[in-house]
Amino acid sequence: MKKTFFASIALLVATLCLPFAAQAQFAKAEDAVTYRQAAFQLMGSHFGRMQPVMKGQVPYDKVAIAANIAVLNEISKLPWAAFGAGTEGGNAKVEIWLDPEDFKKAQEKLTISLKALTSASDAGNFDNLRVAYGEVGASCKACHDAFRQKK
């Protein structure tokens, strides 16, 4: 009886704390900046490493490219949660917080282009893959032009 009581209290406390825990994902704004920059670094690495293949300098290995694209798909989900209210800074333009809908659209463009890249990779057609790769690069650039400060 007593055990059940404490268990329900614990559950209640956990439930009440949940929204706060989600908000407190980053203790400080700088932590959010560090996190999203780290995620973008990984994105840059996993995108850039395919370039020699796309340029025809390295033979197309279907399995290796597919595995890398799978990683890229996962990483591409990460940065956005680190652009919460009050996390202005880094090389992010304030337009992100002033125009969140456009920022969201730029994220969706990336998602759509990555879907096309994934399909092209699954199909294994090198010419289509190259075109899709270029489209992903264009979606990175479009967002950077609008929302990232030039250094």
Q: How far is the CB of 57 from ligand HEC (least distance, A)?
A: 19
**Which lies closer to ligand HEC via its Cβ, residue 11 or residue 94?**
94
* DSSP assignment of 74-123: HHTTSGGGG--TT---TTB-THHHH-HHHHHHHHHHHHHHHHHHHHHHHH
Site for ligand HEC in 92-111 (CB under 6 A): 92, 103, 106-107, 110
Compose the 127-146 pattern: x for residues touching ligand HEC by CB under 6 A, - for all others.
---------x--xx--xx--
CB of 138 to ligand HEC, least distance (A): 9
The CB-nearest residue to ligand HEC is: 90
| Residues 6+ positions from 88 with CB-CB distance below 8 Å | 29, 94, 96, 97
Select the residue interacting with ligand HEC from 26, 40, 68, 133 (CB under 6 A).
Answer: 40
Q: How far is the CB of 16 from ligand HEC (least distance, A)?
A: 32
d(CA 60, CA 97): 40
The answer to whether 118 contacts ligand HEC (rule: CB under 6 A) is: no
List of residues 6+ apart from 80 with CB closer than 8 A: 107
Instruction: Determine contact, residues 148/92, Cβ cutoff 8 Å.
Output: yes
Interacting residues with ligand HEC (CB under 6 A): 33, 36-37, 40-41, 43-44, 47, 90-92, 103, 106-107, 110, 136, 139-140, 143-144, 147-148
